[in-house]
Structures are given as C-alpha cells and as structure tokens.
C-alpha cells in the first residue's frame, strides 16, 4: 500500500508561506506607523557645520538673523530630536570647515551646512561635499534670493542633496527632518 504525502506537504508549505506573509505585513505596519523606532535602533548622528560670522548670531544684525544665539537654539533642537545625536561645529576658516566635512562625511547620517559667505565663493568646500558619502543639506537663515545679487548663486548647492533657506533658525529643524526622511528611505 502506497501513501501519498504530497497533499500533506503542500498544505504544510502553504501554512508556512502564509505565516511568513502575515509576519512581513505586521512588521511593515509597525515600521510604517512608527518609523521613529527604526531611528532609535539606527542611532542616527547629524553634524551641523556653520561657517563665517555665524558665531555672532544673537548679536549680528538681529533684524535679519534674530536675537537668539545658535547655542540656545541648538539646545532646543536637541530637545526636539532626543533620539538623534546632533553634533555642532563652527569656524570662520575655510580649511577648518573642509576638514570637518571630511571628518564627519563618512560616519554621520548627514551634514547640515550653513557655509555663510563661502556658499557663493568656495570651490574647495564644494569639492569636499562631493568627496564624502553623507548627504549634505545646505541651510541659510535668510532667503539668499532676496538679498544682494552676489548671494543669489550658490557654488556649494550643486554638490548638496538639497537647500533650505529663508525660514530663520527653523531652517535647521527642517534640514533635520529632511535627513530623517532620507535615512528612513535607506534603512527600509
């Protein structure tokens, strides 16, 4: 007498496939509902780099730049995004900015760069951005397109992933959110 086990094995296989599909769907629903838990596992790190004269925020032309220092703004930004390690660096020297881009451009999940006046003049910073693997978001506190004509063109912009300007210090928050979205897309 011959026993045909084929139908039994087929039903077992179908059950296993169904369970795998259900598990995948549950996992997908959890990830889509709460992508922040992915970022916690991911240990996201963002480097903010500010260029020349941005150390004077809060004192310099408050009608354009506001009267809050970057350090106090940075405290509130870190409180808004406690799951992200936000590092900060400021320099008035082009070579030091390039060194920091090189230093953080391979091990951070993104760079937020306000190159100040170097935005319009620095081929070297543009080349540094092109050389690193981390996405770089160009940020400006004021809208550079409504300022002096020489500020309308950004040399570094062609090497950056995106540009945010004209929203005051909130431009930095928008850049953090953009980098979260960019990184979510890479870890799915």
Long-range contacts of the stretch 151-154 (C-beta < 8 A, 24+): 151/119, 151/120, 153/120, 154/119, 154/120
* DSSP class of 147: S
Catalytic sites, residue numbers? 65, 140
Residues 155, 180 contacting (CB under 8 angstroms) = no
The HSE-up count of residue 1 (CA atoms within 13 Å, CB side) is 1
- Number of other residues whose CB lies within 10 A of the CB of residue 85: 14
């Amino acid at each position: 007498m011959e026993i045909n086990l084929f139908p039994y094995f087929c039903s077992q296989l179908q059950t296993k496939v169904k369970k795998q599909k259900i598990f995948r769907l549950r996992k997908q629903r959890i990830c889509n509902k709460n992508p922040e838990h992915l970022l916690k596992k991911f240990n996201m790190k963002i480097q903010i780099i500010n260029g020349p004269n941005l150390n004077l925020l809060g004192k310099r032309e408050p009608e354009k730049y506001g009267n809050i220092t970057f350090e106090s703004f940075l405290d509130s930004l870190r409180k808004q995004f406690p799951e992200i390690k936000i590092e900060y660096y400021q320099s008035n020297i082009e070579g030091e900015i390039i060194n920091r881009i090189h230093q953080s451009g391979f091990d951070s999940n993104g760079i937020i760069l306000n190159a100040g006046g170097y935005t319009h003049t620095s081929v070297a910073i543009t080349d540094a951005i092109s050389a690193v693997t981390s996405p770089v978001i160009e940020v400006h506190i004021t809208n550079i397109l409504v300022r002096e004509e020489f500020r309308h063109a950004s040399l570094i912009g062609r090497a950056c992933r995106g540009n945010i300007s004209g929203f005051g210090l909130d431009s930095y928050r928008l850049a953090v959110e953009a980098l979260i979205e960019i990184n979510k897309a890479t870890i799915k």
